[in-house]
Amino acid sequence: MSAFLRKILLISLVGCYVPASQAELTLEITKGIESAIPIAVVPFGWTGSKDRAPEDLAPIIQADLSRSGLLKTLPVGEMLTMPSKANHVRFRNWQALGQEYLVIGEISEVVDKQYQVQFQLFNVYRGEQFLGYRLTVSEKELRRTAHHISDLIYEKLTNKKGVFGTRLAYITTTSKANKKLYKLIIADADGFEPRVIASSLEPIMSPTWSPDGKQIAYVSFENKRSAIFVQTLANGKRERVASYKGINGAPSFSPDGTRLALTLSKDGSTDIYILNLNNRSLTKITKSYGIDTEPSWSPDGKTIVYTSDRGGKPQLYTVPSNGGKAKRLTFEGDYNARGQFSLDGKNIAMVHANRGDYRIAVMDMATRTVNVLTAGRYDEAPSFSPNGEMVLYASRKGNKNVLSAVSIDGRMQQNLSFDNGDVREPAWSP
């Protein structure tokens, strides 16, 4: 096939691009916390050649902070004044509204498409500034700047790492003329700025991030057989790293990014292998007659947690990443699968089923207690947020597949639904 034809094909398969500042996922908070901290984020002031700023950052910050569940934002309609400069702030007004914190800010045009953004965070009762930053950014970076500001505020007020500036990878399917189109999409953590990075008429599944966030590994059936690809996000180049006879599935990067754990069935039984991405050497680390799949690395790189049905039903096991003796990890429930370590290694999230209800559970590795976090019937594919506070997963709402997130204490829950079809297999970026 000529290079020209290839190019056309590739454009058609990858070229779907949704314009910026458009959300594909709709977010809805289904369960919040009573004790959330009240904070007012005032619409930012604007100085520039146009009537208004190309993007108002305040609504983005508001949405981020309330989505966290730990902060409760004041609706703009309830604000008595909308100051954008510190010397216009009357703290008493904000005290009267029951607010503990106040965020004000300004956007000013420096030159065409270049902006200076400044914001301040105040403690309303003490009447003092907690944070103040000034940044110069391009028009394209405005949304990202808003997420960055959200992270700074969140970190200051909760002492927890903010994840508003992170991204999500997920798979969507849309049907057209009796054909299903599978897409691998990357979007901001709030569902905005979705970009299709691969798309095919055959299934795409199991997206997973490299630890530096620069690459995605996934399974594609585009040649009517499964194969694992590693794609670099910056330039879109990809490499097929596994296409053996049988299953090529469940890729998972080692914490140092040099190896990929994966599932192959080339020798007859379905086992976990470690692929060295530098020299392409392959090491088999599980040997059972049953199914061994869904490997995930511990943060120190020494242990792999995986699903095995060697005991009859699927349960989680661990094995040293250089091979060795497998140990059973889960004993509660008749189905435990797709284990994933949190980045601090303290917890493992999993799909946990009892009598046919598939839910998301988290095991505390210190005490080995299992906490069931969700109440759905078809919950699957758990993925930890990089700060370990939330678990994102796929669930069913009505007759649609949607994404949901739950805090690891189970107190907060939210839904992310995809308007145009099904969405599943979320993977939260590092």
- Out of 337, 362, 373, 408, the only residue in the binding site for another protein (CB under 8 A) is 337
- Out of 134, 140, 237, 302, the only residue in the binding site for another protein (CB under 8 A) is 237
Where residue 368 falls (left for φ over 0; alpha for ψ -120 to 50; beta otherwise) is left
Rounded Cα distance, 332 and 312, in Å: 14
Strand order across the 390-397 sheet: 25-31, 413-418, 400-407, 390-397, 380-384
Does the footprint of another protein cover residue 113 (CB under 8 A)?
no
- Out of 29, 131, 227, 282, the only residue in the binding site for another protein (CB under 8 A) is 227
For the chain, the straight-line distance linking the first and the last C-alpha, in angstroms and rounded, comes to 38
- Closest contact distance (angstroms) between CB of 398 and another protein is 10
Which residues does residue 150 pair with via DSSP β-bridges, in sequence order? none
- Closest contact distance (angstroms) between CB of 67 and another protein is 26
Rounded Cα distance, 42 and 347, in Å: 38
Which phi and psi angles does 109 have, rounded to 5°?
-75, 125
- Out of 351, 363, 390, 391, the only residue in the binding site for another protein (CB under 8 A) is 351
Altogether, the residues listed in the chain come to a count of 430
CA neighbours closer than 13 Å in the CB half-sphere of residue 355: 0
Rounded Cα distance, 256 and 239, in Å: 19
Does the footprint of another protein cover residue 6 (CB under 8 A)?
yes
Residue position matching structure tokens 């599980």: 286
Rounded Cα distance, 64 and 66, in Å: 6
Q: What is the DSSP letter of 256?
A: T
Does the footprint of another protein cover residue 13 (CB under 8 A)?
yes
Of 52-60, 101-109, 237-245, 340-348, which segment contacts another protein by CB under 8 A? 237-245
Does the footprint of another protein cover residue 195 (CB under 8 A)?
yes
Does the footprint of another protein cover residue 389 (CB under 8 A)?
no
- Closest contact distance (angstroms) between CB of 133 and another protein is 30
- Closest contact distance (angstroms) between CB of 349 and another protein is 12
Which residues does residue 352 pair with via DSSP β-bridges, in sequence order? 336, 359
Does the footprint of another protein cover residue 239 (CB under 8 A)?
yes
Cβ proximity to another protein, 285 vs 351, nearer residue: 351
Rounded Cα distance, 263 and 242, in Å: 10
Please report the sign of the dihedral spanned by the C-alpha atoms of residue 331, residue 332, residue 337, residue 341: negative
Instruction: Tell which positions 306-335 bind another protein, by CB under 8 A.
Output: 307, 314, 335
Does the footprint of another protein cover residue 238 (CB under 8 A)?
yes
- Tell me the per-residue interface mask from 203 to 222 with another protein, x by CB under 8 A, - otherwise: x-xx--------------xx
Instruction: Check: CB of residue 417 under 8 Å from CB of residue 25.
Output: yes
- Out of 64, 193, 294, 389, the only residue in the binding site for another protein (CB under 8 A) is 294
- Closest contact distance (angstroms) between CB of 425 and another protein is 7
- Closest contact distance (angstroms) between CB of 279 and another protein is 16
Instruction: Tell which positions 353-372 bind another protein, by CB under 8 A.
Output: 353, 356, 358
Total Cβ atoms within 10 A of residue 422: 19
Does the footprint of another protein cover residue 10 (CB under 8 A)?
yes
- Out of 53, 152, 169, 247, the only residue in the binding site for another protein (CB under 8 A) is 247
